Amino acid sequence: MGHNDCELNLSYPPVEVTEKNCTYACLLLNDYAGKNGELTALTQYFYQYLITKYKYINFGETLECIAICEMRHMEMLGELIVQLGGNPLYRTVNNRNNQFWCGYNVSSTQDIIRFLKENIQAENIAIKNYEARICQINDSKIQKVLERIILDEKHHINIFSSYIDEFI
Question: How many Cβ atoms are within 10 Å of 158's Cβ, its own excluded?
Answer: 11
**DSSP label of 99:** E
Note the pLDDT of residue 8: 92
| Stretch 22-42: mean pLDDT | 97
Q: Looking at the domain assignment, is residue 128 inside a domain? A: yes
Residue 10 lies in a domain: no
* CA distance readout (Å), 146 to 14, 73, 143, 152, 153: 11, 9, 5, 10, 10
Number of domains in the chain: 1
Residue 109 placed within a domain: yes
Give the predicted TM-score (pTM) of the model: 0.95
Judge whether 2 lies within some domain: no
pLDDT grade for 94, boundaries at 50, 70 and 90: confident
**Whether the predicted pLDDT of 74 surpasses 60:** yes
Q: What is the pLDDT of residues 1-24, one digit of tens each?
A: 444 588 899 999 999 999 999 999
Q: What angle do CA 61, 38, 90 make, to 5 degrees?
A: 125
The count of other CB atoms within 10 Å of the CB of residue 28 is 28
| Cβ neighbours of residue 142 closer than 8 Å, sequence gap 6 or more | 17, 18, 24, 28, 80
- What is the pLDDT, as a whole number, of residue 48? 98
Distance between CA 10 and CA 163 in Å, rounded? Answer: 23
**Is 9 a member of any domain?**
no
Sign, CA dihedral 127-130-134-135, equals positive
Average pLDDT over residues 23-43: 97
Cα separations in angstroms, 152 against 65, 73, 165: 12, 9, 20
Alpha-carbon distances, residue 15 vs 7, 18, 39, 93, 94 (angstroms): 18, 10, 18, 22, 25
Decide if 157 is inside a domain: yes
Q: How many CB atoms lie within 10 A of CB 84?
A: 22
CATH at residue 36: 1.20.1260.10
Q: Residue 68 and residue 152: Cα distance in Å, rounded? A: 12
Domain encompassing residue 79:
16-167
